[in-house]
Chains A and B, each alone.
Chain A
């Protein structure tokens, strides 16, 4: 068990190493994002900015889907906030492993919370390796892949036929499925996961945007809390 309060280069390297295969997969749907961004009217510079500043695949996909038509700045901000609410749940779940956290460390860690880096880090945490440097290392590794892929996709968009035909847009779902398989905790995972997916599926059909992620996450967490170990 790593000591609480540790922050080592070794764990950061471990994070980077474990992120590498995931980052390659991210590059695949980064390309897709770039193409879709072009279709939504973004130039490569705007795509680069968006991927650099937001750095959240599913949020970005959701955002450009909504930007097809004209949208006011306010609605974009509100939508973004809602679309990213899952990060609150992610931060909370990381936090419980970290003990006392200096506010400066929080600021740093927050930069590196992505779906993928968070998922990998939670795996490590539950195995007793609680050094948050892992999150930073994995976040640093995935960032350039995401950036480069988005821009390349955007620039190459005119030459690329519909990415859906090649199944590339499935890459996002595919990576997460693989990560999810590693997270199965046996018996106790069953009902929370069932509740989460049921809530998510229902919400996806009836609510706009990414609400389904937040509701599914909450439903699963609630089920887990109520059912005990």
Chain B
């Protein structure tokens, strides 16, 4: 499992040198970070029910206001914990 993981990490770095230069590729690559991250969070945030959606909203709000990752995460976890109780009962 470790080898497969390292291989994917390494091959990405190498793969780009194989592609020719192009504006298309430039633009596409520029959007990968946001695209990958939002893909990582959209299903867990939106597909698990109202409690997690609320927690996600709280996290986003606190993050936007405070620009502090730790605070936003704590707020989100607290919101998730609370909301799950509220919505479960």
Which residues of A are interface residues toward B (Cβ below 8 A)? 21-22, 24-25, 28, 50, 53-56, 58-59, 63, 76-77, 80-81, 84-96, 101, 106-107, 109-111, 113, 115, 118-119, 122, 164-168, 170-185, 189, 192-193, 195-197, 199-201, 204-205, 212-213, 215-225, 227-229
Contacts and interface: CB of A to CB of B under 8 A. Distances in A.
Q: For chain A, what secondary structure do more than half of its interface residues adopt (helix, strand, loop), or is it mixed?
A: helix
Contact of A91 (B5, B12, B42): B12
Interface of B: 1-2, 4-17, 24-47, 52, 55-56, 59-60, 62-64, 67-70, 72-73, 76-85
A184 B28 CA distance: 16
Given A178-B69, A216-B42, A221-B32, 12 more contacts: A58-B40, A81-B8, A84-B8, A88-B15, A110-B6, A165-B85, A183-B37, A196-B39, A201-B46, A213-B39, A217-B35, A220-B32
A158 B30 CA distance: 45
A63 B44 CA distance: 16
Contact of B24 (A76, A165, A225): A225
Contact of B63 (A28, A168, A177): A177
Nearest to B16: A95
Contacts of B81: 165-168, 170
A118 to B, nearest CB: 8
Given A166-B81, A221-B35, A178 B59 contact: yes
A229 B27 contact: yes
Pick the 3 closest A-B CB pairs, nearest first. A91-B12, A220-B35, A216-B39
Contact of A168 (B29, B60, B67, B77): B77
